[in-house]
Structure 1
């Protein structure tokens, strides 16, 4: 039994990555029911929606659950900057016959706060994970007092050491291959980001808590390779995007199954923070990184109406098609079946209850 399996009371050292916008409690319940750790992304949910998701999860799966939250610093309002950003999209608004928004929208993702900390106390999840660092000490201590194990993502050795010094129970080593948002929080310098199998052994050597490998792991061989390199467990996200329990949109599913899925890049266009997704028209024409993009998460508003209209027309031209560098494991099968395939070379160690 690995330290991670004991810590989370799970049969297999596998975590389903929380993926906001493309999944809910259904995917998490299916994965937990199969003996791994299912995750519910909560950063875009209201407190009532989080409560509802956990209630449904508990009714479906009598297993541990991970609730995931963001810890970004809310940006200062910058109406002028957001208006300048919006103006870069005007030709596309005209092309699609859309009315240009009169005012920039507010943030669609809120950082962890006291209201959510109180909700964690109420719901008592077995695991709470954070992205972009950790919340302030008093909130972190409240989460710890709830009985939850605490994990967070590190994209560098320095971030891993910082997390360990601040009392996390395990660290996710997020390699450059991973899809979705980079968890980086000590630096915004992209050159600090390295691949999973370069990052993992360095973090293992630097900290004493369990380390979870993430990024580019899409099949049983990848799971075995990560464990052989010293990982206490693995986190898998992209491979679950085609599962029947995922809420992945039709255009996103089509993109994942297209030849273009082999070309992914880090981009700040969709949210203001670096995130890995499949190259589409918006990325090609604006370039992956644009210095005028508002701070996370304010960049999202400018393209949101374009995304909605394009998806209505069957196009992902303006959609964040998040995906890691390895989409070969994406299968249109039930999540429980995929979970068991990922751990097919492992033996269950405990029976969670």
Structure 2
């Protein structure tokens, strides 16, 4: 049986940047899954508006929040020099579209405290975090308000730290997942598969686990459940669906034979993220790891590429199983992945 905290084996990943819309999350709920809105990149007003919208549909859902990396907001002189060099490198890309690169920005914590305050004032059932762990006092406050807290981790060491801080459940993210890595502790190496990572984390902590990374079909779901996961989180599998808010350019690229592999890259945002390998990824293999400064630096380039219909300079997030991403409805994807599961499971 699915864990009571989730009520389902299928979780839709919170895909920031416009993919996880209220309509998408509502469709996931209607299909028997559990969706998460994404607070990342949004103002507090935009976040709360999406909460109201989704609540109005009657859907069960959660909210995902980016944890700011405080040291990156106060970069060393050496990192500033690396960023200025990368900014110079990007001038060739900017000239392609006739856009101006913005000055480097180090003041963006994604409205962290205001978002936490809003979630405490008007609590949700589920709040998840990525890019790090909130402080124990934040976790305690959210739990007192009635929210269950989910932490996204990538290693046993991160899992143990999240458990010590009071997280109710863990999203166990493997490097095969599309989009940004949630890793926040250095020096840890993952095993080859998501199932192996889940097994390691299951041996380290007793919390409910959601497996994330490369789950595209029933066999992938079976593998992570057998390893000890209570549910699987799917992102790439939903990208091409009718209800997904992803750009059509992104959806089309996932089906294009032109793109033949994925890679982790910091070129677009300054944080490692798995994407289809396009010209921008190939041209900038040594981008500094400095999120969100690089996110802001490349924003006009990405916007111009999208406007021009140019997939070669767009962040085409994709997990390693991207070739299996299908068109159709969210309900059809959920039905495919769960086909044959015993009743009630």
Q: How much does 1:107 deviate?
A: 6.0
Does 121-130 or 270-279 show the bigger shift? 121-130
Structure 2 residues not aligned, in runs of 5+? none
Which SS does the other structure have where 1:63 is aligned? coil
Q: How much does 1:319 deviate?
A: 1.3
Task: Identify the match of residue 53 of structure 1 among 46, 50, 64.
Answer: 50
Residues 78-98 of structure 1 deviation map (CA, whole Å, 9 limit, x = unaligned): 7655433211011222233x1
Cα pair distance change 1:102/1:108, threshold 3 Å: closer
Runs of 4+ more than 6 Å apart: none
Q: 1: CA distance between counterparts of 2:255 and 2:109?
A: 28
Higher relative contact order (CA 8 A, sep 6+): 1
Cα pair distance change 1:224/1:191, threshold 3 Å: closer
- Give the paired residue count: 339
Q: How much does 1:303 deviate?
A: 2.2
Matched, 1:165 2:161: no
Whether the 8 Å contact between 1:69 and 1:111 is mirrored in structure 2 is no
Q: How much does 1:244 deviate?
A: 1.4
State the TM-score, normalizing by the size of structure 1: 0.89
Cα pair distance change 1:274/1:45, threshold 3 Å: same
Q: How much does 1:171 deviate?
A: 1.1
Whether the 8 Å contact between 2:176 and 2:213 is mirrored in structure 1 is yes
Task: Identify the match of residue 40 of structure 1 among 23, 37, 41.
Answer: 37
Give the CA RMSD over aligned residues: 2.1
Which SS does the other structure have where 1:235 is aligned? strand
Matched, 1:131 2:130: yes
State the TM-score, normalizing by the size of structure 2: 0.91
Structure 1 residues not aligned, in runs of 5+? none
Q: Please name the residue that 2:84 is paired with.
A: 83
Q: Please name the residue that 1:68 is paired with.
A: 64
Task: Identify the match of residue 31 of structure 1 among 22, 28, 32.
Answer: 28
Which SS does the other structure have where 1:333 is aligned? coil
Whether the 8 Å contact between 1:43 and 1:109 is mirrored in structure 2 is no
Whether the 8 Å contact between 1:242 and 1:253 is mirrored in structure 2 is yes
Alignment of 1:262-277 (within 5 A): 262-277=260-275
Whether the 8 Å contact between 1:170 and 1:211 is mirrored in structure 2 is yes
Cα pair distance change 1:330/1:233, threshold 3 Å: same
Whether the 8 Å contact between 1:68 and 1:131 is mirrored in structure 2 is yes
Q: 2: CA distance between counterparts of 1:132 and 1:53?
A: 22
Task: Identify the match of residue 286 of structure 1 among 284, 287, 304.
Answer: 284
Cα pair distance change 1:20/1:326, threshold 3 Å: same
Whether the 8 Å contact between 2:151 and 2:170 is mirrored in structure 1 is yes
Q: How much does 1:256 deviate?
A: 0.5
Q: 2: CA distance between counterparts of 1:42 and 1:166?
A: 22
Alignment of 1:1-353 (within 5 A): 1-2=1-2, 4=3, 6-8=4-6, 10=7, 12-21=8-17, 22-60=19-57, 62-74=58-70, 75-76=73-74, 81-96=82-97, 98-101=98-101, 103-105=103-105, 110=110, 112-113=112-113, 115-187=114-186, 189=187, 191-192=189-190, 194-287=192-285, 289-290=286-287, 293=288, 295-347=290-342, 349=344
Which SS does the other structure have where 1:184 is aligned? coil
Cα pair distance change 1:147/1:260, threshold 3 Å: farther
Q: 2: CA distance between counterparts of 1:346 and 1:173?
A: 22
Q: 2: CA distance between counterparts of 1:298 and 1:332?
A: 34
Which SS does the other structure have where 2:344 is aligned? coil
